[in-house]
Chains A and B, each alone.
Chain A
């Protein structure tokens, strides 16, 4: 009994430590899809995500964040934070048809506004509305792959 526990406990401790680091400090994510073009590729990026900014509330508009989709709780999506609670957000409702249909929204308390960089092909707060802060999972701060994008993530393109 003693020998068995001596070899199992370090393994269990190691796995739990990995889980705690993954959940509370940071993790890597693989993104795919067109909604964050040109910042992220359609075929996929590997990003380093830290979870400390979300816990301490130190996120700022312009950060690339990953969050649980409000439409499907098992899906985690990557978008750019564009507004915090109390901010006024102006956006184009349907950029393909006319870029003069602007709507102004005040973000409610406890919510944030997220948008994909590719306004022509993204499902974001313009579709599903302001997102409760509790759905945010982390902030992406470094691109690992592809090699040409290695480094910090660029700011929102104009």
Chain B
């Protein structure tokens, strides 16, 4: 008599917490680990190949920017990879729609609805220089703060590369 109703209450509480957490993390903000060294030194500055998942940076990703898809130059964004929708990448926006971005070989026009992203660590970053401009519809959030490790807690600043982008 007592156990089923206790189980039911526990299940109801888990369901409530789960559903509310999922909604908040989809609509407002969530905390994600950043893997890899492509955004060094902003994230994961120690380029140690033995980097385990406990020492990855944890960052705050805000989702409110997805209401209007209005980004600024220098924003760090999380987006689904155009080559594999199951992977997500973290890179910085260098070019917005309509901009002309200079790469080593030529100058590329960023089409409407797309953005040009590059990692802070140009030497080891797979970004728009390989897979081209990224549709803004693939963006999943914008990183605003580092939450872990404690010595680097703080907001993530916009860094705009000089002399590489010409806005229209």
Interface set of A (CB-CB < 8 Å, partner B): 9, 12-13, 15-17, 19-20, 23, 68-74, 108-111, 131-135
Nearest chain A residue, comparing its CB with the CB of B139: A73
- Chain B: residues with Cβ within 8 Å of the partner, total of 25
Can you spell out 11 A-B residue pairs with CB atoms less than 8 angstroms apart?
A9-B16, A16-B20, A19-B27, A23-B26, A68-B137, A69-B137, A70-B137, A72-B113, A73-B113, A73-B135, A134-B81
Nearest Cβ on chain B to A20's Cβ, whole angstroms:
6
Interface residues of B in 73-129 (CB under 8 A from A): 80-85, 111-114
Query: Interface readout for B118-155 with A: 1 if CB under 8 Å, 0 if not?
Result: 00000000000000000111110000000000000000
Taken together as a complex, chains A and B put the C-alpha atoms of A135 and B82 apart, in Å, by 9
Interface set of B (CB-CB < 8 Å, partner A): 15-16, 19-20, 22-23, 26-27, 68-69, 80-85, 111-114, 135-139
* A-B interface pairs (CB < 8 A), number: 66
Nearest chain A residue, comparing its CB with the CB of B111: A71
Chain B contact surface mostly: mixed
Does the CB pair B80–A134 fall under 8 Å?
A: yes
Taken together as a complex, chains A and B put the C-alpha atoms of A108 and B82 apart, in Å, by 10
Does the CB pair B23–A19 fall under 8 Å?
A: yes
Which listed residue, A17, A20, A135, touches B135 by the CB 8 Å rule?
A135
